[in-house]
Amino acid sequence: MTDQTSLDALEQELLAQVSAAADEAGVEAIRVSALGKKGVISERMAALGKMAPDERKAAGAALNILKDKVTEALSAKKSVFAEAALEARLVSEKIDVTLPVRPQSAGTIHPVSQVWEEVVQIFGDLGFSVAEGPHIEDDFHNFDALNMPADHPARQEHDTFYFNEKPDGSRMVLRTHTSPVQIRTMLSQKPPIRIIAPGRTFRSDSDMTHTPMFNQVEALVIDETTHMGNLKWILEEFCKAFFEVDDVKMRFRASHFPFTEPSMEVDINYSREGGQLKIGTGDKWLEILGSGMVHPNVIRAGGLDPDKYQGFAFGMGIDRIAMLKYGIPDLRAFFESDLRWLRHYGFRSLQVPTLAGGLS
């Protein structure tokens, strides 16, 4: 009993010491004094060996209980100090999160490129592939094959950029439209043909609404049955899809282009509300494209038999439809590379137009 009494006293003393420990070092000192090699509990443990077996069993069990209690108290006290230390560190580590992040330039996609992808998405769904041709063209592809012989008045109205004459008298031109791609496609593919040909075009014209370089997209369908009803359908479907409206009113006006017969110009309805142009509402008309059934002479120039094959073609300005869709006021600014303009009218790098996710 005496032993037990002294153990109880020791326990109370040690627990009181733990409880009174001022810091983590104090806890460690108590641990050493109690449980270290020469600690009071360790010494009593060592003394067990000298005891009789019965006595040793009882005393050993009591000592182990004491050891566990003290160990637990030490550990609990230690965590209290660790918690407190962590709290103190967290307080000291406070930063001002309203400070700006590391600067990173946000890139943009040019509206012409964005609209290129939008147009390709729409026509790609109907199986139109993207055809291309050189910007530096010859008379044959840019004019002759498109039913514009040298003396054709329309050829004079094209404001063509010419290159210097070659020794053989010929001279190359900068393509005045994307239509030469029609000829190149017919000469290299067998019908049925469905292509669009987006790209740069050039006219020697520069004023408020014209730039010497601009972007067009051409479409060509050649097969044995496609007619004007199909042409009207696709133009209307395209406008609805591109301008992302449920309905548009379109006005088809008979017109004249050397490379189509019959030809029509197409207007789309719009309104202007608060300075903003809205496509698909209102009763004003805006011309957006020229179109028609491919002229038999053009089909022939493409190496195909116009008695067997027919189809349609149309062309419109990529810049122009970009301006209409996104409310961009000035064509000339498209090509000025003013950072303020690029950032304002550009598109986010991962804003990729898709039919599934939407075009804008």
Partner 1 sequence: MKFTLSWLKEHLDTTATLDQICEGLIGVGLEVEEVSDRTQELAAFKVAYVLEAEKHPNADKLRLCKVETDTGVIQVVCGAPNARAGMKAIIALPGAVIPATKIALEKGSIRGQESQGMMCSERELLLSEEHDGIIDVQGDWPVGTPAVKALGLDDPMIYIKVTANRPDALGIHGLARDLAAKGLGTLKPLNTAPVKGIFKSPINVAVDEKSSCALFVGRYFKGVKNGPSPAWLQARLKSIGLRPISTLVDITNYITFTYGRPLHVFDADKVHGHISARLAKTGESLLALDGKTYTLTDQMTVIADDRAAEGIAGIMGGEASGCSDTTTNVFLEAAYFDPQATAATGRKLGIISDARYRFERGVDPAFTQTGAEIATRLILELCGGEASELVIAGALPDTARSFTLRKTRVKSLGGVDIRWTDQLRILRDLGFMVSEDGVANVPSWRPDVKGEADLVEEICRIYGLENIQNAPMSRPHDIARPVLNPLQKRMLAARRTLATRGFNEAVTWAFLPEAHAKLFGGGLNELKLSNAISSELTDMRPSLLPNLIAAAGRNVARGFADLMLAEVGHAYAGDKATDETLRAGGIRRGAAVSRNVQGGKRDADVFDVKADVLNVLEACGLAVASLQVVSGAPAWFHPGRSGTIQMGPQNKLAYFGEIHPRVLQAMDVKGPLVAFEIILNRLPASKAKSNARAALNFSDLMPLSRDFAFVVDDKVQAAELVKAVKGVDKVLIADVNVFDLYKLEGGKTSLAVEVTLQPKDKTFTDADIEAISAKIVATAAKAVGAMLRT
> Which residues within the stretch 185-224 sit at the binding site for partner 1 (CB under 8 A)?
192, 194, 200, 202, 204-206, 212-213, 215, 221
Nearest to 200 by CA among 176, 172, 164, 173: 176
**Out of 343, 354, 357, 358, which residue is the one contacting partner 1 (CB under 8 A)?**
343
Q: Is residue 288 within 8 Å of residue 320, measured between CB atoms? A: yes
Cβ closest to partner 1, residue 57 vs residue 251: 251
Q: Is residue 285 within 8 Å of residue 202, measured between CB atoms? A: no
Locate 74 and state its tokens. Answer: 């030490």
Determine, following the binding rule CB under 8 A, whether residue 180 of this chain makes contact with partner 1. Answer: no
**Choices 23-31, 46-54, 61-69, 99-107; region in contact with partner 1 by CB under 8 A:** 99-107
Q: How many residues bind partner 1 (CB under 8 A)?
A: 93
- Nearest distance, CB of residue 315 and partner 1, angstroms: 16
Determine, following the binding rule CB under 8 A, whether residue 97 of this chain makes contact with partner 1. Answer: no
Binding residues for partner 1 restricted to 271-310, rule: CB under 8 A: 293, 295-296, 310
Q: How far apart are CA 234 and CA 223, in angstroms?
A: 15
The CA-CA-CA angle for residues 279, 286, 230, to 5°, reads 80
Distances (CA, A) of 18 to 73, 82, 110: 7, 15, 71
Determine, following the binding rule CB under 8 A, whether residue 339 of this chain makes contact with partner 1. Answer: yes
Residues contacting residue 216 through CB under 8 Å, at least 6 positions apart: 177, 178, 198, 199, 201, 315, 316, 317, 318
Q: How far apart are CA 164 and CA 170, in angstroms?
A: 9
Determine, following the binding rule CB under 8 A, whether residue 228 of this chain makes contact with partner 1. Answer: yes
Nearest to 264 by CA among 316, 328, 302, 207: 316
- Nearest distance, CB of residue 338 and partner 1, angstroms: 7
211 half-sphere exposure, CB direction, 13 A CA radius: 16
Cβ closest to partner 1, residue 18 vs residue 218: 218
Q: Is residue 266 within 8 Å of residue 249, measured between CB atoms? A: no
Determine, following the binding rule CB under 8 A, whether residue 109 of this chain makes contact with partner 1. Answer: yes
Cβ closest to partner 1, residue 83 vs residue 149: 149
- DSSP string covering 106-129: --EE-HHHHHHHHHHHHHHHTT-E
Cβ closest to partner 1, residue 233 vs residue 326: 233
Rg (CA), the chain: 43
**Out of 9, 85, 163, 308, which residue is the one contacting partner 1 (CB under 8 A)?**
163
- Nearest distance, CB of residue 105 and partner 1, angstroms: 3
- Nearest distance, CB of residue 205 and partner 1, angstroms: 8
Cβ closest to partner 1, residue 14 vs residue 195: 195
Cβ closest to partner 1, residue 28 vs residue 267: 267
Q: Tokens 């404001």 correspond to what residue?
A: 159
Binding-residue pattern over the window 244 to 263 for partner 1, x denoting contact by CB under 8 A: -------xxxxxx----xxx
Q: How far apart are CA 177 and CA 198, in angstroms?
A: 10
**Choices 1-9, 36-44, 60-68, 331-339; region in contact with partner 1 by CB under 8 A:** 331-339
- Nearest distance, CB of residue 152 and partner 1, angstroms: 8
Cβ closest to partner 1, residue 49 vs residue 167: 167
Determine, following the binding rule CB under 8 A, whether residue 174 of this chain makes contact with partner 1. Answer: yes
Q: Which phi and psi angles does 288 have, rounded to 5°?
A: -120, -15
- Nearest distance, CB of residue 329 and partner 1, angstroms: 17
**Choices 43-51, 77-85, 271-279, 338-346; region in contact with partner 1 by CB under 8 A:** 338-346
Determine, following the binding rule CB under 8 A, whether residue 144 of this chain makes contact with partner 1. Answer: no
Q: How far apart are CA 289 and CA 277, in angstroms?
A: 18
